[in-house]
């Protein structure tokens, strides 16, 4: 394997360390840890990539495409966001979210947004990787937690799962070790722990809600999320999205909660209250103006909603924020 990899990297003009099984791609030279991709080619059946970029120009980080067997691709976003393509459809991955794609063959399709992105990608041939690294035994449990039979041949499954503190810690260690030029044996140990942690995340999510989403469900949920977040003052309703996508209001609620973990109204209130609190603390705008900017045309209803969320009135919140700012010298 090392000879084949060395020849490949020599051909594309990159250095490969056959001992550490590590290659580094500098997207923009002289930027330290920023704008580079670090690849660990641990065997013919598992590759690990660590990304730290802030624009969409990313070098090819794979070898020739392989289509034999079942591949599990795990993409974990720690900071920023990215987009990846699956079966010709584009999906958005946000910070502290993991996407797991289990399918026949490795299409290698993964593209980045022009935003900052720090994350880890693991690509492995499920049927063979345990022959290379028995330490990855937790991988089998992770796959089973995706409700996929071990003998499956017709695979078409995509999961999105929120990261636990354990998963986040392991990902941060993989990123730190890769930037510290650690060898592949260290990385594979952390990947084994990652398989266990993500498996537990799946188990947790499955107990609380069904996290399997189709491509159309994910797109609808992302559209709703963008509208509620970026234009939180608009009068967005479940009915509007149900009519837009020609599904029931209950279906819209389920799509959104399955993907983002919050109910539609709960998330809308959460975003509005957080923005209201920032404006109360950081501006001299009147409470009435802030209420209207947050989608409340009745100051009384806004005050009631704010007090329910923060356990104090908007004016009390503003006064306490000013006291805190004065004490901290801001």
Domain residue ranges of the chain, discontinuous segments joined by +: 2-208, 214-261, 264-330
Residue-level pLDDT at 63: 47
pLDDT-derived band at 132, boundaries 50, 70, 90: confident
Average of pLDDT values for 43-66?
Answer: 69
Distance of alpha carbon 267 from alpha carbon 271, whole angstroms: 6
Which pLDDT score, from 0 to 100, does residue 152 have?
37
Q: For residue 228, name the pLDDT band (cuts at 50, 70, 90).
A: very high
The terminus-to-terminus CA distance of the chain in angstroms comes to 58
Task: Give the C-alpha separation, 234 to 113, whole Å.
Answer: 26
pLDDT at 56: 56
The predicted pLDDT at position 150 comes to 41
- Cβ neighbours of residue 58 under 8 Å, at least 6 residues apart? 25, 27, 37, 51, 111, 112
**Range 38-54 average pLDDT:** 86
Q: Treating both helix axes as pointing N-terminal to C-terminal, what angle do 264-282 and 249-260 enclose, rounded to 10 degrees? A: 60
Q: What pLDDT is recorded for position 213?
A: 60
Quick one: 264-330 is in which CATH superfamily?
Homeodomain-like (1.10.10.60)
Enter the tokens of residue 292. Answer: 């209207």
Q: What is the CATH number of domain 2-208?
A: 2.60.120.280
pLDDT at residue 10, as a whole number: 62
Residues 307-319, mean pLDDT to the nearest whole number: 93
Q: pLDDT grade, residue 23 (50/70/90)?
A: confident
Mean pLDDT of the chain: 80
Give whichever of 41-50, 151-160, 183-192 has the largest mean pLDDT.
183-192
Tokens at 129, concatenated: 């990787």
Cα separation, 22 vs 41, in Å, equals: 6
Q: What confidence score (pLDDT) does residue 135 get?
A: 86
pLDDT at 107 over 60: no
Share of the chain above pLDDT 90, in %: 35
pLDDT score at 199:
84
State residue 289's pLDDT score.
95
Per-position b or e across 156-166, b if 16+ CB within 10 A of its CB: ebbbbbbbbee
- pTM, two decimal places: 0.63
Q: How far apart are CA 8 and CA 198, in angstroms?
A: 32
Q: Which residue has the tokens 């041939």?
A: 125
Rounded to whole angstroms, the Cα distance separating 179 from 148 reads 34
**Confidence class of residue 29 from pLDDT cuts 50, 70 and 90?**
low
Lowest mean pLDDT among 158-167, 183-192, 223-232: 158-167
pLDDT in the model for residue 80:
80
What share of the chain has pLDDT > 70, as a percent? 75
Task: State pLDDT tens for residues 163-220.
Answer: 889 999 999 999 999 999 999 999 999 999 998 898 888 777 766 655 556 667 888 9
251, pLDDT greater than 50: yes
Res 270: pLDDT: 92
Average pLDDT over residues 42-70: 70
User: 203 with 145: CB under 8 angstroms?
Assistant: yes
């Amino acid at each position: 394997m090392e000879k084949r990899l060395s020849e490949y990297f020599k051909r594309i003009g990159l250095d490969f360390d056959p001992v550490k099984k590590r290659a580094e791609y500098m997207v923009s030279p002289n930027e330290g840890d920023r704008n580079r991709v670090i690849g660990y080619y641990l065997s013919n059946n598992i590759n690990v990539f660590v990304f730290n970029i802030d624009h969409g120009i990313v070098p090819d980080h794979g070898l020739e495409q392989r289509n034999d067997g079942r591949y599990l691709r795990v993409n974990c976003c720690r900071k920023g966001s990215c987009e990846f393509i699956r079966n010709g459809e584009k999906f958005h991955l946000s910070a502290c979210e993991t996407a797991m794609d289990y399918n026949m063959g490795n299409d290698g399709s993964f593209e980045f947004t022009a935003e900052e992105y720090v994350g880890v990608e693991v690509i492995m041939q499920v049927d063979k990787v345990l022959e290379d690294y028995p330490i990855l035994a937790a991988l089998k449990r992770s796959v089973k937690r995706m409700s996929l039979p071990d003998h499956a041949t017709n695979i078409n499954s995509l999961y999105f799962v929120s990261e636990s503190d354990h998963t986040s810690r392991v990902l941060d260690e993989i990123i730190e070790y890769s930037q510290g030029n650690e060898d592949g044996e260290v990385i594979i140990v952390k990947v084994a722990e990652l398989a266990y942690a993500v498996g537990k995340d799946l188990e947790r999510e499955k107990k609380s809600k069904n996290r399997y989403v189709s491509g159309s469900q994910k797109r609808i949920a992302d559209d709703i999320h963008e509208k509620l977040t970026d234009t939180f003052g608009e009068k967005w309703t479940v009915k509007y999205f149900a009519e837009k996508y020609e599904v029931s209001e209950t279906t819209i609620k389920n799509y959104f909660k399955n993907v983002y973990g919050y109910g539609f109204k709960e998330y809308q209130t959460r975003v509005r209250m957080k923005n209201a609190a920032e404006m109360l603390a950081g501006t001299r705008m009147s409470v009435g103006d802030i209420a209207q900017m947050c989608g409340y045309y009745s100051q009384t209803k806004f005050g009631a909603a704010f007090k329910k969320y923060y356990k104090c009135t908007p004016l009390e919140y503003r006064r306490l924020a000013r006291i805190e700012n004065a004490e901290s010298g801001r």
